[in-house]
Amino acid sequence: MEIALYEPDIPQNAGTIMRMGACLGVPVHIIEPAGFPVSDRAFRRAGLDYLDAVRIERHVSFATFETWRKAQNRRLVLLTTKARDAYPAFAFREGDILLCGRESAGVPDHVHTAADAALRIPMQRGQRSLNIAVALAMVLGEALRQTGKLNHE
């Protein structure tokens, strides 16, 4: 299981997600451009003391990410409020990449089209969305549970 952040624009959310990746042993891909500096130096200055414990992969564009992903034969699972299917009913597989869009705008149509699956979190009517880190934690937890990857002890 891996995480991909499409052009993230809130560094605090990216930091929370990287910390989750470190704690759960899940690599994090950052698809640029981001709305903040994504260098190790910038992350360390922000106090991300767990940076050495997470594998961070940077991709200069979605096209380069897609080239890498297809070469790895990995399934792309987009988390979006626009999806028809709810995540609890989805059958996750080892090697899936969970993709989250920009906090301010989601992902463009070509990214939706590239995804192998699009999933949503069922919510109360009238509510827009959860915080991206919270949403990702919910879905990642279920994906790790289904694939038997929650036993790190």
Task: With CA atoms as reference, report the closest residue to 42 among 60, 62, 15.
Answer: 15
Q: What is the pLDDT of residue 150?
A: 78
pLDDT one digit per residue (tens) for the chain, 153 residues: 999 999 999 888 888 899 899 999 999 999 999 888 776 666 655 546 777 888 999 999 999 999 999 999 999 999 999 999 999 999 999 999 999 999 889 999 999 999 999 999 999 999 888 999 999 999 999 999 999 987 655
Q: Structural domains in the chain? A: 2-146 (3.40.1280.10)
Instruction: Give pLDDT, residue 153.
Output: 55
Tokens of 53: 């414990």
User: Which contiguous run of DSSP H or E holds residue 33?
Assistant: none
DSSP category for residue 39 = S
Q: Are 87 and 63 in contact (CB under 8 A)?
A: no
Cβ neighbors of 134 (< 8 A, separation 6 or more) are none
pLDDT at position 47 is 45
Contact 80, 112 (CB under 8 A): yes
Is there a contact between 30 and 97 (Cβ–Cβ < 8 Å)? no
pTM of the model: 0.92
